[in-house]
Amino acid sequence: MSREILGIHHVTAFCSDPQRNIDFYTGVLGLRLVKVTVNFDDPTTYHLYYGDGAGSPGSILTFFAWPLGRKGRVGTPQVTATAFAVPVGSLDYWRKRLAGAGVRVSEPRNRFGEQSLPFEDPDGLRLELVPTGGKIVGIPWRGNAVPAEHSIRSIRGITLAVEASEHTASLLTKTMGFNLVAGEEPASRFKTGGGGSIVDVECLPGAPHGAMGVGVVHHVAWRVADQDAQAEWRKTLVRTGANVSPFMDRKYFRSIYFREPGGVLFEIATDPPGFAVDEAEGELGTKLMLPDRYEPARAELERILPKVRLPSPG
């Protein structure tokens, strides 16, 4: 049994208007709406999942829709940027596409020898596009206007901002099996041992503290192969003194949660059973799906939840 951390499973953030969120991530970025469900801890709010053409673990960005929620504040300790992998040679296409859609785009930047294109979504969530060479993972979603040769394929990595990075770095390398691959003040770059996910840890003592809310990331989830591997990770983390949650059934994966030493919320999620467990793969994201415990309340939830227009199958 492999117990490696295989990479990023998903990143979860807050949005405000769910329709605007759907229109941006499917219409502008060309991602597939993989699942429309509810926050399992608050079923009166949407939980929207976007990913590649197959809804592959590692390609997933999710949102808790919070129409009346306060605006978040970016700072420590938080995931302050989420980077998507795109094929080499795609940045000119994306710069023009994003600018044409009225998206706030920053100048390309170089970090650790990589060029990236930073931009923000309609709620101010910080995103990046990173041309990624070699065998780029992820299946293009062909049910949109973005050509396959430029399509977003997966989540390339994240940036963490913490006040002090020593203990975060120790957890990543000594416990979670990540490799330290580069340093460039104020950041250190780590790579997951079992995959290709990148984690840039910025050490920002004295930086303003962040606040949860619309336009910021709630947590990052790391992939493991199955429940056995997850159970081993829970034992390992408990031995390090981490306060780890019980196992939680999220229907499409099983989860445990804990805070890394810098304060960012981490999740370890299983790859199976996947998003096709309750919908045919060709119909993913085309209707509201509920966990079994909320099915008796479907009519009431459909009345409460904002009406949204969902993309048709590709």
**Edge to edge, what strands does the sheet with 7-15 contain?**
32-39, 42-51, 60-65, 7-15, 217-224, 265-270, 254-259, 248-249
Give residue for tokens 């459909």: 302
Please, what's the b/e burial string for 125-142 (b: 16 or more CB within 10 A of its CB; e: otherwise)? Answer: bbbbbbbbeeeebbbbbe
Predicted pLDDT at 52 = 96
Predicted pLDDT at 1 = 39
Predicted pLDDT at 193 = 86
Amino acid, single-letter form, for residue 247: F
Cis bond upstream, residue 186 (ω within 30): yes
Is the overall model pTM greater than 0.85, yes or no?
yes
Distance in angstroms (rounded) separating the CA atoms of residues 144 and 291: 28
Tens of each residue's pLDDT in the chain, 314 residues: 368 999 999 999 999 999 999 999 999 999 999 999 999 999 999 999 999 999 999 999 999 999 999 999 999 999 999 999 999 999 999 999 999 999 999 999 999 999 999 999 999 999 999 999 776 778 899 888 899 999 999 999 999 999 999 999 999 999 999 999 999 999 999 999 877 899 999 999 999 999 999 999 999 999 999 999 999 999 999 999 999 999 999 999 999 999 999 999 999 999 999 999 999 999 999 999 999 999 999 999 999 999 999 987 65
The residues facing 289 across adjacent strands are none
Nearest to 23 by CA among 13, 33, 36, 14: 33
Domains of the chain: 7-304 (3.10.180.10)
Predicted pLDDT at 314 = 59
